[in-house]
Structure 1
Amino acid sequence: MSKKLYIGFIYNELIQKAEPLVNKLRTMIPDHYSIWISPGDIINVSPDILQETKIIVTAGGDGTILKASRISSEFNIPILGINLGRVGFMTELQPENAEKEIINYLDDSKIEYDSRLMLQCEIFNTTTSKLLQTHNALNDIVISRGSDPKLLDINTEIDSVDLHTYRADGLIISSPTGTTGYSLAAGGPIISPNSDVMLLQPLAAHMNFSKSLVVGKSSIINISLVSKQSASLIVDGIKEIDFSTDHLLRIRKSSNSTVFIRKDSKNNFYATLTNRLLS
């Protein structure tokens, strides 16, 4: 007898409507599926169960999806997002339609898969060249001066060529998906989420090169702090890491990707752009 596949639910526990919605939606799932449910802040689901999970349904906003993507990308589980947030660029359904529509998203003949590039960042010790940490990001990786009043001197190298030393509040390295987030607020361009590129967007660059820079998917970006400084490295707005002149940050396209379930993957982004950003 074959094992039951799981349908996973991850919800934003800070949104009052999220958990009740998940409890309603679970009753719509056919009996031949098993179900697991988790709050977004602490996702504690065993690898064995994740291996058998067909989809993850998120109830929240884009932030909830970013948390879900940390496990979905590792186990190649597609995400169906229900928008209970403010913008919801990555979500697919509105809550008022979710009960009626969710069953259709379990039918492979009625859906498409929308695969999104992720970033991989590696942190090395500059003295020993030892790899200290590795993280994947769906949206962006941000180097920020945080509460330090001094500007950062951020050296960037692309494909072994010294590009520029930014004197700035920080630097955003964004995936195409992330260009509707923090980098957009910082003056960056919107890039179609299915593009295979990465974006460098300085934060309040001081008296020097301050333009956005788009680099190809195969490029390797090395970043370091020039003077004796310390900063914060923030991955997808979730994980904050101390970053200093003792560290080298290496960013490239990740071998992982985040996959979304759509009814129409080609038109979804532009419809969302019109309805949620430009209206």
Structure 2
Amino acid sequence: MQYVAIFAKVHDPRCQKVASELIAWLEQKGCTPLVDPHLTASLGYPRELSEEEIRDQAEMVVVLGGDGTLISVARLFSGRDVPILGVNLGSLGFLTEITLEELYPRLERCLKGDPRVSDRMMLEVTVYRDGKQIEKNNVLNDMVINKGALARIVDLETKINRHILTTYKADGLIISTPTGSTGYSLSAGGPIIHPQMNCIAITPICPHTLTNRPIVVPDESIISVTVTSSHDEKVYLTLDGQVGFKLQQGDSIEVRRALKTTALIMSRSRDYFEVLRTKLKWGER
């Protein structure tokens, strides 16, 4: 691999220090670092590229920071089959599971063409208003419909493959990938799903009817959610916790499996169940 992109949590001094060392290491290996423009400004790195130029040229991506930073990078590279190496400089992440101690040995193997990659399914989220498409995005984790701070519960008519599931009366609704099952969905009582499963989880947020439980459907399902609450209710759509906008009564959100996946480079020293035990502190008193 010749072109390696570097993205980092730029406001974290630790990330800036590691990024500087990583740039020098890659150059010594004969690679060309493609540095995130925000990081370029912080480090004073001379070779400045736009995010679009980096996306088009990169053969591999290194992300320094937490899961949120990696998710934003995954959205940028959606549509390109580029492996992403997530390095967490703090506590272990569900997505950024590579530690700083593992970084350079892992990079050595990747540059030799021996990455251990986990292909993660994504969701394609399309928003329709008055029968017209107004928004379309891919997400790695989840899409969330929720009410405003002072709003009453919202009504969300939900169909699967055009068959009515129910009209949720709740604070909101989460539709997540297996990767996103350990995010907001888990906090709302949703199931933990192994990231290699092919399915979609639907989790209501504080449903008015207590028998409305999370449900897992096949990944070929097409899920449609229509906002049926009155005009004076404030309802919002959030994608991967980073992109969002206000919905109106009658807006319809269609969710299906995206054609593209996100390739995450995994640790060779731990498995998914060790990550679960560590992050969720299972077995600790």
Equivalent residues, number:
271
From 244, 257, 266, give the equivalent of 2:248. 244
> Deviation digits for residues 50-83 of structure 1, max 9, x if unmatched?
3331111000010011011012222221100001
Q: How far did 1:218 drift?
A: 0.6
Tell me whether 1:14 sits opposite 2:17 in the alignment.
no
> Deviation digits for residues 210-243 of structure 1, max 9, x if unmatched?
2110011110000011121331100000001111
Q: Amino acid of the residue matched to residue 237 of structure 1?
A: G
- Distance in 2 (CA, whole Å) between partners of 1:100 and 1:185 is 35
Does the aligned pair in 2 maintain the 1:57–1:80 contact within 8 Å? yes
From 259, 264, 276, give the equivalent of 1:273. 276
**Match of 1:191?**
193
- Distance in 2 (CA, whole Å) between partners of 1:196 and 1:118 is 10
Alignment of 1:177-216 (within 5 A): 177-216=179-218
Alignment of 1:110-259 (within 5 A): 111-125=115-129, 127=130, 129-228=131-230, 229-259=233-263
**TM-score normalised by structure 2 residue count:** 0.88
More strand by share: 1
Task: For structure 1, list consecutive stretches of 5 or more residues without a partner in the other structure.
Answer: none
Tell me whether 1:260 sits opposite 2:257 in the alignment.
no
From 80, 83, 86, give the equivalent of 1:78. 83
**Match of 1:37?**
35
Aligned-CA RMSD value: 2.2
> Deviation digits for residues 144-189 of structure 1, max 9, x if unmatched?
1031331111110100111101111100001000011111111111
Q: How far did 1:48 drift?
A: 4.6
Q: Percent identity?
A: 30
Task: For structure 2, list consecutive stretches of 5 or more residues without a partner in the other structure.
Answer: 42-47
Q: How far did 1:95 drift?
A: 1.8
Relative to structure 1, is the Cα distance of residues 148 and 85 closer, same or farther in structure 2, using a 3 angstrom cutoff? farther
- Distance in 2 (CA, whole Å) between partners of 1:252 and 1:82 is 29
Does the aligned pair in 1 maintain the 2:34–2:58 contact within 8 Å? no
SS at match of 2:109: helix
Q: Amino acid of the residue matched to residue 9 of structure 1?
A: I
